């Protein structure tokens, strides 16, 4: 595979050298993609702004439903192609990429349901003299131009989470996928357009650099900004938004799991291993810090390491591969440095701890009792590393779980619900791993882990305004 992907911005001219997209597995060139500079960004904004502010161009609900239905059908027809594309550019094994594409198709269908079930509400009137002879109700309208920046780790499903609700809500959207994995996003937009979506209503682009991207975000024509990525970049971009621009930010976490002495280890440990080593740990709610009662902590660490050691790493296009490569070789370097730092500080390396098959892979790794101030204890690893910590007092375990400046999803393996109510997290999974998610549930980072609420129905709602209409008529007298 070696193709060229043209600009998705009508009227724009490519700028600079095209971006090369390479396989994280073997470094082979997959495609080149055109990029835009300030002029190209301006053209994309002009296209989107003109489409939205000419109400005659708005897409009625029935047409949006038809476009999304056809898109889902086209995705099903091109299922194998989408799976292979996502696996090639992102490195996620075929078995997991198939799940991602199935989720993405279901996400498009979820967007259709949002249109069918979304509605306004009646506001009570006739309650006093001031509200007499009045009928009031709300209706929903699209908020305006949406700009969305996405992440590499789910190259199709995350795009659906950002673009799908925009299309469903009636907003033109400019989508900037991750530079490591843009091909799935561009292909998804092609399918939307094949299904009947006008070009100006969804424009994919990559830019010549960060200043150009920041200029896109800061433009006053942007009504809503959706960001999935690192906290450092997300909070910086939020600070540059124009007054009135709404946003939602989805960053990473340092997901904690609390295991009490009565937990069913046979049941939960395979789930926790999957939640920590899935996609080589490159998941924002990946299992990272496991706080286990001292009576079982060594067993927990040993069994997690044993499960991780059985996972097969290799070519993501191999049907038997369970762990694919890290997205970039410098990530392998970083993870190795963090693990070595923890071991030098006193952590016990229970399993893994080194590179596998060259620079593209890092072994499924388990550390026991890393220092509290080690990077693996304080920051998001975003790699296949699970840390296990001993505790004797439950309150102390909860305090350790809560003390980092990130809070996203957490889990508890216990028969005592007291633990879940005291964890700082937006979602707590009981007897499951931290990375559980279905796409219609709320998904929100707290503290430095994010701002606003994700999940398709919640994003759909955020991309709309609620307009109040009040009708005064003497004919309404006596109505309830």
Task: State the sign of the Cα–Cα–Cα–Cα dihedral 71, 76, 77, 78.
Answer: positive
Per the listing, tokens 């937990």 go with: 263
Q: What is the 3-state secondary structure (H, E, C) of 257-287?
A: EEECCCCCHHHHHHHHHHHHHHHHHCCCCCC
Q: Are 253 and 449 in contact (CB under 8 A)?
A: yes
Element (H, E) at 429: strand 427-430
**Structure tokens belonging to residue 432:** 């499951």
Q: Are 380 and 357 in contact (CB under 8 A)?
A: no
* Cα 219 to Cα 379: distance, rounded to the nearest angstrom: 32
Q: Are 295 and 446 in contact (CB under 8 A)?
A: no
Task: State the sign of the Cα–Cα–Cα–Cα dihedral 81, 84, 86, 89.
Answer: negative
Nearest-5° angle of CA 45, CA 205, CA 70? Answer: 95
Cα Rg of the chain, angstroms: 24
Q: Are 181 and 90 in contact (CB under 8 A)?
A: yes
Q: Which CA distances in Å does 174 have to 25, 56, 163, 313? A: 29, 20, 8, 36
DSSP state of 200: G
Q: Are 328 and 98 in contact (CB under 8 A)?
A: no
Q: Give the active site residues.
A: 250, 284
CA 205 from centre of chain: 19
């Amino acid at each position: 595979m070696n193709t060229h992907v043209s600009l998705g911005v009508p009227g724009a001219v490519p700028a600079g050298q095209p971006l090369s997209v390479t396989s994280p597995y073997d470094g082979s060139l997959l495609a080149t993609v055109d990029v835009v500079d300030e002029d190209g960004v301006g053209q994309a904004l002009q296209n989107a702004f003109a489409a939205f502010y000419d109400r005659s161009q708005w897409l009625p609900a029935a047409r949006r439903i038809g476009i999304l239905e056809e898109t889902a059908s086209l995705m099903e027809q091109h299922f194998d192609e989408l799976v292979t594309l996502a696996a090639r550019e992102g490195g996620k094994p075929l078995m997991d990429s198939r799940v991602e594409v199935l989720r993405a198709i279901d996400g498009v269908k979820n967007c259709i349901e949002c249109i069918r079930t979304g509605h306004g509400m009646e506001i009570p009137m006739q309650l006093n003299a001031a509200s007499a002879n009045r009928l009031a109700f709300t209706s929903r309208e699209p908020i305006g131009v949406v700009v969305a920046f996405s992440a590499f780790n789910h190259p199709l499903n995350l795009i659906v989470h950002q673009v799908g609700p925009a299309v469903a809500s009636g907003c033109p959207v400019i989508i900037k996928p991750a530079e490591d994995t843009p091909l799935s996003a561009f292909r998804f937009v092609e399918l939307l357009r094949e299904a009947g979506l006008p070009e100006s209503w969804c424009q994919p682009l990559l830019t010549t650099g960060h200043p150009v991207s920041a200029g896109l975000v800061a433009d006053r024509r942007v009504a809503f900004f959706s960001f999935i990525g690192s906290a450092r970049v997300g909070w910086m971009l939020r600070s540059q938004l124009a007054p009135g621009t709404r946003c939602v930010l989805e960053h990473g976490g340092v997901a904690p799991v609390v295991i009490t002495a009565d937990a069913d280890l046979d049941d939960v440990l395979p789930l926790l291993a999957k939640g920590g080593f899935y996609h080589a740990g490159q998941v924002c709610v990946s299992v990272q810090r496991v706080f286990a009662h001292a009576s079982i902590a060594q067993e927990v660490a040993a069994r997690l390491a044993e499960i991780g050691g059985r996972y097969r790493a290799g070519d993501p296009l191999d049907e038997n591969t369970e762990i694919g490569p890290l997205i970039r070789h410098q990530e392998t370097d970083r993870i190795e440095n963090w693990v070595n730092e923890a071991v030098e500080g006193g952590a016990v390396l229970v399993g893994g701890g080194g590179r596998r098959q060259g620079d593209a892979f890092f072994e499924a790794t388990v550390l026991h009792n890393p220092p509290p101030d080690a990077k693996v204890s304080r920051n998001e690893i975003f790699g296949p590393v699970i840390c296990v910590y001993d505790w004797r007092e439950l309150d102390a375990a909860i305090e350790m779980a809560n003390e980092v400046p990130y809070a996203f999803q957490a889990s508890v393996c216990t028969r005592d619900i007291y633990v879940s109510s005291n964890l700082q997290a937006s979602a707590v999974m009981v007897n499951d791993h931290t990375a559980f998610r279905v796409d219609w549930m709320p998904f929100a980072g707290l503290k430095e882990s994010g701002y606003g609420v994700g999940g398709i129905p919640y994003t759909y709602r955020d991309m709309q305004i609620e307009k109040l209409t009040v009708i005064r008529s003497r004919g309404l007298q006596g109505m309830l």
